[in-house]
Structure 1
Amino acid sequence: MAELHGSVSEPVLDTMNFLNEITHRYPDAISFAPGRPYDGFFETEQVITHIRRYLDHLAEQGGSPNDIRTTLYQYGPTAGLIRGIIADSLRVDEGIDVPAESVVVTVGAQEAMLLVLRALIAGPDDVLLVSSPCYVGITGAARLLDVRVRPVEEREDGFSAADLEAAVRDELANGRRPRAFYVVPDHSNPSGTTMGTEDREELLRLAERYDFLVLEDSPYRLVSPGTPLTTLKSRDRTRRVVHLGSYSKTVFPGARVGFVVADQRVHDADGGQHLLAADLTKIKSMVTVNTPSISQAVVAGALLGVQGRLSQLNAGAASYYGDAMREMLRQLDARLPTARREALGVSWNEPTGGFFLSMQVPFRVDNDQLVRSAEDFGVIWTPMTHFHPGTGGQHGIRLSTSCLTPAEIEEGTARLVRFVEAQSAALRPAGRAA
């Protein structure tokens, strides 16, 4: 209907539903589309154990039975019940040393994005820059709020500080104000790239030089093998980084608990100062009122069980996901050795962690091609066009390895290669072999 907000007809808002619909329509297909954790790590009774641990913690802190009952069953503080526990965890696990008052507990990282954009974008000339391709959640939130988005295209090896600076200067020259730059520095969704140490430092220097904030979203760090590079927030000396966090990958998605660290100082009308987190809390009170207490109790119990060290809690998962990524790369290399993929014009990157890798193919990729892949070849993936705010991604495929077994990866890769071979062959002139 013409009188509805334009965002409801935006393709980006259809991405999740479309992929879910394809998965349900072709249940026998092997899917490299979902970026969700592996189900094998979850046990039903864990939820009860986590809640029990948190309730015991409240009692140890001096809470009476009535206090504990109220905490669990009633509306809680808008900013969150477990801010102190989250702040302690960030300090010991990530080197992010911030007061609990700078943390806002959200309904997943998605709400955190919405709150931050609503607070930062003050007028029509304010601009959000995003590393492109990027997670559809940020561009979807921007569209809901009518926020202008300027994509900064990744290079083959990922983020480029020079390209970001050029985009910032261009926006300024056109009378617009870059307010923030959104990026997933570690094993990004969708491309799988990781930002190097020098690029991290240069990004922080650019943010200070041109007076914008960095929205750091890094849900895959602690479910990846090896020692991760330090976060942008832990390097942040001038409060330029707003850190977006999620427990969907590190605890479990069904809890729907995330957080935002916003320790930036905001000037009051009377000359005083307060934390940006306080303004985000005001906005949240009109969006979700508060994050469910039961969900916070589960996450808090999980954190308390490992003294805040999510890296310890996820050591086994990180190893599993690392093995899955290596198996995927091994299968691709075996089925499309160097000479063959060069002849076809096929390539892919080789992430060392995270859930995703990206493949480039010689033919155009769209939703119709995905349906054909699912229907005729029994394999599902995600077109990279879904992750490009502008044009781009027409020859890209996102592949997720996180929720599959080694046997599923082996068979799924075989089906994927058959699809790629068939589509590539269709491009060749009649009578010409690759």
Structure 2
Amino acid sequence: MGDITTVAGRTLALADLHASLTDPVLDAMNFLNEVVSRFPEALSFAPGRPSEGGFATDDLARHLRTYTDHLEHGLGWSQERVRTQLFQYGRTNGIIHDLIARTLAHDEDIHVSAESVVVTTGCQEAMLLTLRALFARPDDTLLVSSPCYIGVTGAARLLDIAVRPVREGGDGPDPEAVLEAVRRTRAAGGRPRALYVVPDFANPSGASMTLAARERLLEIAAQEDLLILEDDPYGFFVRVGSARPTLKALDRERRVLHLGSFAKTALPGARVGYVVADQEVVGARGERTLLADQLSKIKSMTTVNTSAISQAVIGGLLIESGCRLREANAEAIAFYRANLNTLLGELDRHFPAERRRALGVDWNQPDGGFFLVVNVPFIADAKALEDSARNFGVLWTPMSDFYLEGGGERQLRLSCSALTPEQISEGVGRLAAFVHERAARSHR
């Protein structure tokens, strides 16, 4: 960090600001970003961002034109109405909700009304709106699969929502462990309100739930009056086998709120996400609305609405794909599959079985997605990361920051989404040199 010059005037005590600002996770993520900026030549397995290989700047204008043509010629709108749609604030819940609903039906077999879709400024806002609406009492508790994506735990922290972790296994959260967490929460005086889960190729672990586990989780949710917040950014990117149905596609009792984003499947710079909130809300006088309408009230006090220009670009892309985004992602799916296979193959090459056993190194083999986790025989913390970046030219993410209850100190996360196969090969070689040196040092 740079030096801070002290000037005369009002100062604020950090202790008087919100407690989330002293959360170690926020500091850890800032440190990771700072390390990346200080070592730009290092090969980075840290970010989970998509590859830029399929992006072309000319596509933006084409997507925008496709959307405006859809409004003018497909729907018969006047030029004045199209202009208002693009240049004004617009509908709080979004202007491409119908296209998103159609795409979900084609890609995920999720059949919901367009009115149940809230278009958000990225999936992060979808999480924030959903948490703010659902968690009304001090004893309301969010269950999270652990290790967990820090975006949702960070949002819960900002909103002073109690969080209880559910330890993840090789196939994601065990439904019986969820049931146990529900009962323990109640025994401790809390009200288990919802479970946050990424059922496919989770960040950070890469774990995926089996079909049987998904069905059992829905049974438990109905039995225990639990809502499920399903986050599904990686479901398209299958490495082996076939895609499994989302929890929302299996949901028959409207227990699942489905959170989505176009960051990984379309265009991260657009910052367009959504939440499917088709649950019915009954008012004090018996009036009935959708939960989506209630989320709209909160959104009107936060971002007001999601950028009409960003929505139009995504809308045009959806129209060009026939609202079949999975098919449109065929090349990206093949690219990420090849990258993950390359990463696994290079780990095998640099750490053959006998050497793995001698070092105490192993890793999981996700069925898809962007991430995998490596177990190492040393503390994989910020100090080790800086050593790795400075002396070996390779970056990764410490896993300990993803655990709420402690754990992951000897684990690191590798993401292969933003690298070329050649960079992956070179990067694993550098990582292997770092691991060997660090392991030797820890045994001295």
* TM-score interval, normalised by the smaller of the two chains: over 0.9
TM superposition shift of 1:180: 0.4
Give the 5 Å matches for 1:48-59.
48-59=61-72
C-alpha separation between the residues in 2 aligned to 1:377 and 1:79?
48
TM superposition shift of 1:391: 0.9
C-alpha separation between the residues in 2 aligned to 1:359 and 1:51?
42
**CA deviation map 1:3-36 (0-9, x unaligned):** 1111112122234432221111001100000101
Residues 111/271 of structure 1: CA separation in 2 closer, same or farther (3 Å cut): same
Residues 295/15 of structure 1: CA separation in 2 closer, same or farther (3 Å cut): farther
- Which one-letter code corresponds to 1:198 in the other structure? A
C-alpha separation between the residues in 2 aligned to 1:282 and 1:37?
32
CA contact (8 A) 2:171 2:210 kept: no
Stretch deviating more after TM superposition (381-390 or 182-191): 381-390
Q: Secondary structure at the match of 1:41?
A: coil
TM superposition shift of 1:62: 1.4
CA contact (8 A) 2:263 2:272 kept: yes
The aligned residue for residue 7 of structure 2 is: none
User: Any unmatched runs of 5+ in structure 1?
Assistant: 430-434
C-alpha separation between the residues in 1 aligned to 2:313 and 2:165?
37
Q: Secondary structure at the match of 2:106?
A: helix
Stretch deviating more after TM superposition (228-237 or 381-390): 381-390
The total of aligned residue pairs comes to 429
CA contact (8 A) 1:92 1:308 kept: yes
The aligned residue for residue 60 of structure 2 is: 47
CA contact (8 A) 1:324 1:406 kept: yes
Matched, 1:249 2:264: yes
CA contact (8 A) 1:223 1:311 kept: no
TM-score (norm 2): 0.95
Give the 5 Å matches for 1:219-238.
219-225=233-239, 227-238=242-253
The aligned residue for residue 203 of structure 1 is: 217
Q: Secondary structure at the match of 1:391?
A: coil
- Which one-letter code corresponds to 1:404 in the other structure? L
CA contact (8 A) 1:325 1:352 kept: no
User: Any unmatched runs of 5+ in structure 2?
Assistant: 1-13
TM superposition shift of 1:344: 0.9
TM superposition shift of 1:346: 0.8
TM-score (norm 1): 0.97
C-alpha separation between the residues in 1 aligned to 2:361 and 2:174?
24
CA contact (8 A) 1:80 1:104 kept: yes
C-alpha separation between the residues in 2 aligned to 1:125 and 1:117?
14
- Which one-letter code corresponds to 2:333 in the other structure? A
* Fraction of identical pairs, as percent: 54
CA contact (8 A) 1:223 1:249 kept: no
The aligned residue for residue 360 of structure 1 is: 375
- Which one-letter code corresponds to 2:322 in the other structure? Q
The aligned residue for residue 8 of structure 2 is: none
TM superposition shift of 1:266: 1.3
Q: 1:100 aligns with which of 114, 122, 145?
A: 114
CA contact (8 A) 2:117 2:292 kept: yes
- Which one-letter code corresponds to 1:254 in the other structure? G
Q: Secondary structure at the match of 1:229?
A: coil
CA contact (8 A) 2:116 2:276 kept: yes
CA contact (8 A) 2:172 2:199 kept: no
**CA deviation map 1:274-309 (0-9, x unaligned):** 111111110000010000000000100010001111
**CA deviation map 1:361-380 (0-9, x unaligned):** 11111111111110111100
CA contact (8 A) 1:223 1:315 kept: no
The aligned residue for residue 432 of structure 1 is: none
CA contact (8 A) 1:187 1:351 kept: yes
CA contact (8 A) 1:328 1:409 kept: yes
Give the 5 Å matches for 1:135-154.
135-154=149-168
TM superposition shift of 1:339: 1.1
CA contact (8 A) 1:12 1:139 kept: no
Matched, 1:373 2:388: yes
- Which one-letter code corresponds to 2:32 in the other structure? L
Matched, 1:321 2:352: no
The aligned residue for residue 38 of structure 2 is: 25
Q: Secondary structure at the match of 2:166?
A: strand
C-alpha separation between the residues in 2 aligned to 1:113 and 1:340?
43
The aligned residue for residue 175 of structure 2 is: 161
- Which one-letter code corresponds to 1:101 in the other structure? E
**CA deviation map 1:100-121 (0-9, x unaligned):** 1110000000000000000111
Residues 271/202 of structure 1: CA separation in 2 closer, same or farther (3 Å cut): same
